[in-house]
Amino acid sequence: MKIKKVTALVLASVMALSLTACGGNKNETSEGGEAKESKGVIELKFPTYLAGENVGATFFLPEIERFNEKYEGKYKITVEEVPQASYADKIKQLAQQNKLPVLVHAPGSGGIDTQWFKQIVLANDMAYDLTEFAEENPDVAANWIPESREFCTVDGKLICKPTSVLKPVGLYYNSSMYTPDKDIRDMTVDEFVDSLGDNKIAFMTAENGWTTALMLTALIANEEGGVELLNSSVNDKLWDYSAPAFVNGVAKLQTILQNNASSNTVGAAYADAANAFMSKNAAVICNGSWMAPEFEEGSADKWSNGFNGEDVKATIYPGNIAFANPSSYGEFWIANTATDEEKEAAEAFLAFRDSQEEIEELVLTEGGVAPQLTYSDNFLAELKKTPLLYELSESMNDETTYCASLGDVFPASVADTEFGKLLPKLIDNTLTPEEFCDELTKKAEEAKQ
């Protein structure tokens, strides 16, 4: 077995090489060593995708640390980092084996789709009822958004922890290229398109077509009956795209795509759309509050072609529309299979996560609004330091219509791939708006059970 010997030798040498190259800064993680000896500590381990390089990690991992610090000697949470792409797969397989982790991300996040949650988890009573938890922690429950709480209540059981924070999605524009004569929010769609002139919008067709889907949502929402169509489809998803509001929206999108799309639109993935905006090849991009840090000085190395983050302004869509979906499954649920101790620890974490301080911290890091909360002065002072987030939250007034975005109402495979895949054919006129909607309906039909 010379080969084996040789391979082992080579491996050893490569390993030694990489050890010397990057040794030193590794803190040896000794697993399972310490915590177990101190009696009474309830340990919790669960996989999450809010880790590694995921945008969510910036807030979530420190939060876990703060929790462990606060409950030192009582509870200890360890998270296992799972790439977002495989999180849902893993959970589905674990559910099949009846080995779910104690805390699981709610459907609508981390690739866990609503359909699976209803059909498998709810139908087999795998989610722990949090009603009692809500009663025991009235101050926490008071922070929850009522619509979300209602949505999470199925057959009288509270099966997910509702959300306390809404993250409205608006748009950004570069004021050095495009200066609307009034706030975009107060325009009609036509006024908005006129005001753009030759300015481009950073669209995409690859991946899930995210930025394009947002614009289409705004166009549909501005049509007669559009908002109702979208908002009423959250629960059962939208399977038929032949409604006039939808078709008219697509028709307008086609015109915009043909006249005002950044040059790299066809085939653009999220990276390409973001780069079109940050290299002044597009004056407008539709995106959520999490993009705001990209326009701060610290991200200057991503800017090019004279782009300056200070020029970026945030606002919401024409017709005073912002996207937010309060009717959602919230953030986490607890598996019924967990032991009482584990449930206790998990509930402690959920209560901790929805305390005033943590919610404010979350909003400051990731943006959003917590409608049930009376913000502390400290928070308001901090918020002003992040002008874009402040602008965005200021741009919404009492008349703002909140509307679910297409991402919330498309069935999983339509949202993930089919929508983006059809867009090039809409752009090059292979498909008329009607045909586009027909094709999309067909794709949704295929996804149906």
Partner 1 sequence: MEKMKKKIIKIFMYTVMIFTIIVSVFPIIWVIMSAFKTNAQILSSPFSLPTSIKFDAFVYIFEKYNFVQYFINSALICVVSTAASLVIFAMGGYVIAKFRFPGKSLIFALFTITLLVPAQSKAQPLFSLVMKLNLYDNIWGVTLVYLSMGLAMSMFILKSTFMAIPKSLDEAATLDGAGFFTIFWKINFPLAKSGLATAGILMFLNNWNEYFYASLLTSSDKNRTLPLALQFFTESFSYDYTKLFAALTIVVLPGILLYVCAQEQVQASVAASGVKG
Partner 2 sequence: MVKKQKVKISKLERRNYKWIYLFLLPSLLIFLIFYLQPIITVFYTSLTKWDGFNTPVFIGLKNYMDMFTNDAFRISLKNILLWSLIAGTLHVGFGVLVAFILYHKPKGWKFTRAVFMVPNVISAAAWAMIYRFIFNDDMGILNNIIRKINPDFHIQWFYESPYAFWAVTFTWLFYAVIVTLIVLNDLMAIPEELTEAAKVDGATGWQITRMIHLPLCRNAIGTGVICSITSRVAMYEQIALTTAGGPGDDTMNLPIILVKAIQDMKYGYANANGVIMFILGLIILAIVNRVFKMNESVY
Residues that bind partner 2 (CB under 8 A): 92, 95-96, 113, 115-116, 119-120, 123-124, 205-207, 263-264, 266-267, 269, 272, 411-413, 416-417, 420-425, 428, 430, 439, 442, 446-449
Residue type, 144: W
With CB under 8 A as the contact rule, the residue among 61, 66, 90, 344 that binds partner 1 is 90
Q: How far apart are CA 402 and CA 323, in angstroms?
A: 5
* Pairing mode of beta strands 157-158, 169-174: unpaired
Q: Which is nearer to partner 1, 7 or 258 (CB)?
A: 7
Nearest distance from C-beta of residue 178 to partner 1, angstroms: 21
With CB under 8 A as the contact rule, the residue among 147, 223, 294, 347 that binds partner 1 is 294
Which DSSP letter does residue 396 get?
-
Angle between helices 210-221 and 419-427 (to 10 degrees): 80
Q: Does 119 bind partner 1 (CB under 8 A)?
A: no
Are the CB atoms for 121 and 127 separated by under 8 Å? yes
Q: Which of partner 2, partner 1, none does residue 52 bind (CB under 5 to 8 Å by kind)?
A: partner 1
With CB under 8 A as the contact rule, the residue among 6, 120, 142, 380 that binds partner 1 is 6
Show contacts with partner 1 in window 144-163 (CB under 8 A): none
Q: Which of partner 1, partner 2, none does residue 7 bind (CB under 5 to 8 Å by kind)?
A: partner 1
Q: Which is nearer to partner 2, 114 or 217 (CB)?
A: 114
Which DSSP letter does residue 204 get?
-
Q: Which is nearer to partner 2, 236 or 428 (CB)?
A: 428
Which DSSP letter does residue 398 get?
T
Q: Report residue 394: phi and psi, to 5°.
A: -75, -25
Provide the 3-class DSSP secondary structure of residue 246: helix
Q: How far apart are CA 165 and CA 187, in angstroms?
A: 28
Q: Which is nearer to partner 2, 253 or 423 (CB)?
A: 423
Residue type, 417: T
* Residue 389: closest CA among 165, 215, 105: 165
Q: Segment contacting partner 1 (CB under 8 A): 189-197, 271-279, 390-398, 409-417? A: 271-279
Residue 297 CB partners (closer than 8 Å, separation 6+): 309
Q: Does 33 bind partner 1 (CB under 8 A)?
A: no
Spacing of C-alpha 251 from chain mean position: 27
Let me know how many helices (H) and strands (E) the chain has, helices first.
20, 11
Angle between helices 387-395 and 377-384 (to 10 degrees): 110
Q: How far apart are CA 105 and CA 84, in angstroms?
A: 11
Q: Segment contacting partner 1 (CB under 8 A): 21-29, 223-231, 255-263, 431-439? A: 21-29
Nearest distance from C-beta of residue 120 to partner 2, angstroms: 5
Nearest distance from C-beta of residue 203 to partner 1, angstroms: 15
Nearest distance from C-beta of residue 300 to partner 1, angstroms: 10
Q: Does 62 bind partner 1 (CB under 8 A)?
A: no
Q: Does 37 bind partner 1 (CB under 8 A)?
A: no
Binding residues for partner 1, rule: CB under 8 A, are: 1-4, 6-11, 13-15, 18-19, 22-23, 25-26, 29, 31, 45, 47, 52-55, 80-86, 89-90, 93, 96-97, 99, 269-271, 274-275, 278-279, 294, 301-305
